[in-house]
Amino acid sequence: MSGGEMGGTGANVAGSSTLDIPANRGGAPASHRPLGILAALPQELGDLIEAMRAESGVRTITHGQRDYHLGTVHGSPCVVTLARVGKVAAAATVSALIHAFDVDAVVFTGVAGGVGNDVRVGDIVVADALLQHDLDASPLFPRFEVPLLGMSRFAADAALADRLAAACERFVAEEGAASAARFGTREPRVHRGLIVSGDQFVASAAGVNALRDALPDALAVEMEGAAIAQVCHEYGVPCGVVRTISDTADDHAPESFVSFLTEIAGAYSNAILTRFLDARKAQG
């Protein structure tokens, strides 16, 4: 995925060592700093950038081969970008959000494969914790543990998780039945718990069963969240992750993922982020 896939939404500033961004890092109150919103793929952002353009206009800055879109959406100053796919890409992107754009907090939205036995296509999972399921530096360190950090699970920010879950519950209450009828899925349910990440697209019964055996409390699997959570942990930046279940990570996953991404992911992201940002504005 190229950095220009989200281009054309505003003025571009070429990536360089000096960005034309207000130098308020570490000095501005949190209420004046933007929220970082990111997804791996364009479809997972829905119409967020269009909404930003309509509300405030969009200023686009290219940095590290990524386009960062600055503006106000649903009353909140935001920086919106694509993390791209995989843990390295996600970590690089969130590092830029923290250091170059001075975000107050980070929210990741997108789709994931269902791992929990009661998690179905169309459900929504809000992370309470995130873990890299493919990290194994044993016997030097315990399996899943990040070397030198002494931990394997990174907690999502509790307040952000609560607000994301509340936005999801409002979406389900207000639009869940209609969305299920429109897209031919069951009425969505909201889950909270462990999301696991790895640099592989899990797409086999054997693969998903191995995850269930190793991590019985895992609800969903994807490719970015735990890397973002680790970077945010190391820099003390609040992080929230919300995932809509596009497939069940089994042999049918590729077909289900593509169909869901194209037809459903944007609608769910729009609905959840709109409610989340509206509540954020109301809370000041």
Give average pLDDT by consecutive 10-residue segment, the chain, 284 residues.
35 42 48 89 88 94 95 95 95 97 96 92 95 95 95 97 96 89 82 96 86 96 97 98 84 69 83 93 74
Q: Is 247 a catalytic residue?
A: yes
Q: Report the C-alpha gap between 281 and 279 in whole angstroms.
A: 5
Q: Choose among 147, 160, 66, 155: nearest CA to 107.
A: 160
The string over 63-76, giving b where at least 16 C-beta atoms fall within 10 Å of a residue's C-beta and e elsewhere, is: beebbbbbbbbbeb
* Amino acid 51: pLDDT: 93
Question: Domain ranges in the chain?
Answer: 3-283
- Of 226, 249, 188, the residue nearest 83 (C-alpha): 226
Amino acid letter at 97?
L
Is 44 noted as a catalytic residue in this protein? Answer: yes
| Residue 77: Cβ within 10 Å count | 17
Quick one: residue 102, left, alpha or beta (phi over 0 = left, psi -120 to 50 = alpha)?
A: left
* Residue 25 contacts residue 102 (beta carbons within 8 Å): yes
Full-model pTM: 0.86
* pLDDT at residue 252 in the model: 65
Among residues 20, 44, 222, 251, the one annotated as catalytic is: 44
Q: What is the pLDDT of residue 14?
A: 37
Under a CB-based contact definition with an 8 Å cutoff, are residues 129 and 194 in contact?
yes
Superfamily name and number for 3-283: Nucleoside phosphorylase domain (3.40.50.1580)
The pLDDT score that the predictor gives to residue 11 is 39
Asked if 126 contacts 161 with a C-beta cutoff of 8 angstroms, the reply is: yes
How confident is the model at residue 4, as a pLDDT? 34
Q: Which residue among the candidates 128, 145, 157, 247 is catalytic per the annotation?
A: 247
SS3 label, residue 109: strand
Give the Cα separation of 23 and 225 in Å (integer). Answer: 28
Tokens representing residue 209 in the block: 């069963």
pLDDT, residue 176, reads 87
